Amino acid sequence: MNMMANGSTKLGDEVQLDDLLGAVKAGAHQDLEHSETLPPMAYVSEDFFNMEVERVFKPGWVCVGHVSQVPEEGSYFTLDLFGEMLVIVRAADGIRAMSRICLHRWAPIAEGCGKTKLFSCPFHKWGFALDGRLLGAPLMEGVQFDVEGRQLPQVRTEVLEGFIFVNFSGDAAPVGQAFTGFAERIGKFKIGELVLAGELSYECDFNWKIMMETFMECYHHIAAHPSTFEASFPARLSYIEDDRKTWTMGASPARDSVPDDKIRVGLPLLSDDLTTEESRAFFLYQAFPSHLVSIWPDRVYMFRCQPRSAGRTSLQTYVFVRPEARELPNFAEIMKQEMDFFVTVNAEDIAVNEMQQKGAATSTAQVGRLSHLEKAVWQLADYIRDRMDA
């Protein structure tokens, strides 16, 4: 297919991956003053998406959850990522991520979440320990078969500040090194001590990068969130710090006229020594490629993103609070209001994200210029461009 100089595509032609890669790399190493989006086809092409899975996601660290989701030995939850079916479980020796596909004839040995002493396959009742070792296989005595030494394939996993990460390639630098400075930056909020207080799930008809970009930039408050955010956290006050190559951080300070109780919701504060800035803003973190966290004075949001295809992304959004918050007499009421607000804001974001995805697929879509308020969009684009050179 013919790629126009701006990286868009001619209507009716077939996308050629090499042309698209060339257009992606053409934007490498721009400075912020001249920064542009990736080509719109990078949000639409399935070939490019498959390349992102291999070059961006599998060699990196992908967050799959928070330690409070596996609080005790035997606690587990499942998720599907990049065609693999995983179970995340707290075993005697710590948190493990492993395939949940039976070693016999491939039925999943767990679904959803819960607590168990062992996993029993629903097909022929083979039993697996919490560390994935095969414990028993009934009615196999008529053939030569030994249960010893068999284990569900393990996926490398590490925990950083309460977030559970997996690395599919197995050879990434340890997560603390991969995200140098990230744990130190957020350590004062003690996120590993927090508990899950609310959860929302979405099946989204847009590319995973659109989700990341809208999460990180507050420029869109001005139009997409006129009453929910712009009135209190205006776009023009937001900023994003300079690139650290593997993670970034932005902030959306409140107008001076906004009272504190519009920023906090009445829950115990995450830290006894919040700075004035930390008390008067919310902060956005992205550990590349896809870990999204938003820190407010008394709560933390996490977005767990599971890219399915170029135009489809599963999303779970979580709210975490101090454990003692649950003792407050009005905790349920506070969380009800908070989740109502969260539903509204998510709907506003999803609406613009869907619009953007539809526009990106048209023949006239072109590379777009970025505002200084969208520095994180530029940073993510550069992260991807670098990996496409591999």
Q: What is the binding site for ligand FES (CB under 6 A)?
A: 102, 104-105, 107, 121, 123-126
Q: Which is nearer to Fe ion, 161 or 349 (CB)?
A: 349
CB of 329 to Fe ion, least distance (A): 32
**3 state DSSP class of 12:** coil
Helix locations, 5-100, DSSP H: 17-26, 46-52
* Binds 341: which of ligand FES, Fe ion, none (CB < 5-8 Å by kind): none
| Residue among 389, 299, 310 nearest 342 (CA) | 299
Q: Please give the Cα distance from 119 to 250 (Å, whole number).
A: 42
**3 state DSSP class of 225:** coil
Q: Which of residues 331-350 bind Fe ion (CB under 5 A)?
A: 349
CB of 75 to ligand FES, least distance (A): 22
* Binds 118: which of ligand FES, Fe ion, none (CB < 5-8 Å by kind): none
* Binds 123: which of ligand FES, Fe ion, none (CB < 5-8 Å by kind): ligand FES
Q: Which is nearer to Fe ion, 121 or 319 (CB)?
A: 319
* Binds 264: which of ligand FES, Fe ion, none (CB < 5-8 Å by kind): none
Q: Please give the Cα distance from 156 to 160 (Å, whole number).
A: 13
- Residue 158 binding Fe ion, by CB under 5 A: no
CB 385 within 8 A of CB 24: yes
- 327: CB partners within 8 A, 6+ apart: none
**In this structure, which amino acid lies at residue 45?**
S
Q: Please give the Cα distance from 182 to 337 (Å, whole number).
A: 31
* Binds 349: which of Fe ion, ligand FES, none (CB < 5-8 Å by kind): Fe ion
* Binds 107: which of ligand FES, Fe ion, none (CB < 5-8 Å by kind): ligand FES
Q: Which is nearer to ligand FES, 144 or 257 (CB)?
A: 144
CB of 115 to ligand FES, least distance (A): 21
The kind and range of the H/E element at 11 are: none
CB of 105 to ligand FES, least distance (A): 4
Provide the total of helices (H) and of strands (E) in the chain, helices listed first.
Answer: 9, 17
Q: Identify the sign of the CA torsion 16, 18, 21, 22.
A: negative
CB of 262 to Fe ion, least distance (A): 17
Q: Which is nearer to Fe ion, 213 or 349 (CB)?
A: 349
CB of 362 to Fe ion, least distance (A): 23
* Binds 95: which of Fe ion, ligand FES, none (CB < 5-8 Å by kind): none
Q: Which is nearer to ligand FES, 71 or 153 (CB)?
A: 153
Q: Which is nearer to ligand FES, 17 or 140 (CB)?
A: 140
Q: Please give the Cα distance from 378 to 229 (Å, whole number).
A: 23
CB of 140 to ligand FES, least distance (A): 10
Question: Which strands make up the sheet holding 163-167, listed edge to edge?
Answer: 62-66, 163-167, 154-160, 94-99, 84-91, 75-81, 113-115
CB 268 within 8 A of CB 324: yes
Residues that bind Fe ion (CB under 5 A): 349
